[in-house]
Amino acid sequence: MLRHTNAPANLLELGFISNAEDNRLFDTRFNEYAAAIANGIARTFNRTCVPIVTPPPPPPPPPGEEYRRNVRAIQERLNAQYGAGLVVDGVWGPASNRALIRAYQMELNRMFGAGLVTDGIWGPRTRAATRNVRIGDRSNIVWIMQAALYINGFPTTPDGIFGSQTNAALLNFQRAKGLAVDGIAGANTFEQLFARGGV
């Protein structure tokens, strides 16, 4: 493609247009791609390049009926599966947040034998027991992460399957919180997800 050019040239391939994951990454990390290319060119000529910072997504709109309906569904599952005893009112307050952390602790105990006290408090032992969750995973911990993303204003469908929609929501959340934007939910990401005390 460059054989007829009369100037120094490089051909960059950033992915395949026929690959859905490549397209998703290009769409969600466009400014990061641009910054990497600009910095590569600048370094070639011993220059420095001002990094391009991806702006955080706009704040979510105030909770509407759809939000409250989905919060009720999360509260119902916390009651049914984890005995949370929540009032199913579609309002995400401290009691619901504590119930979600308690469900997380219960799953860490069940899946990994973490031996945590299931008190619904994010503390050093819960943080230390946290396991990374990434695209392709399927579990109740994925559902808990999806529920936390949703109540933080980053919509995804809580179904326990870490697919491309959940990955996009997680990347946006990490970017907004100043975390490493890697699509992996580890201790730092879960800490920020559980920091929301209510709407």
Cα–Cα separations (whole angstroms), residue 94 to 97, 122, 127, 189: 5, 13, 19, 19
Whether pTM > 0.85 for this model: the answer is no
pLDDT above 70 covers a percentage of the chain that reads 83
Report which residue type is found at 184: I
Q: What is the pLDDT of residues 67-122, one digit of tens each?
A: 899 999 999 999 999 999 999 999 999 999 999 999 999 999 999 999 999 999 99
In sequence order, the 6+-apart residues with CB closer than 8 A to the CB of 29 are 54, 171, 181
For residue 199, the model assigns a pLDDT of 42
- The C-alpha atoms of residue 149 and residue 57 are separated, in whole angstroms, by 14
Pick 65-193's CATH classification: 3.40.50.2030, 3.40.50.720, 1.10.101.10, 3.50.50.60: 1.10.101.10
Mean pLDDT of 152-173: 94
- The C-alpha atoms of residue 91 and residue 110 are separated, in whole angstroms, by 28
pLDDT of 26 over the 70 cut: no
| Residue range(s) in the chain whose domain bears CATH number 1.10.101.10 | 65-193
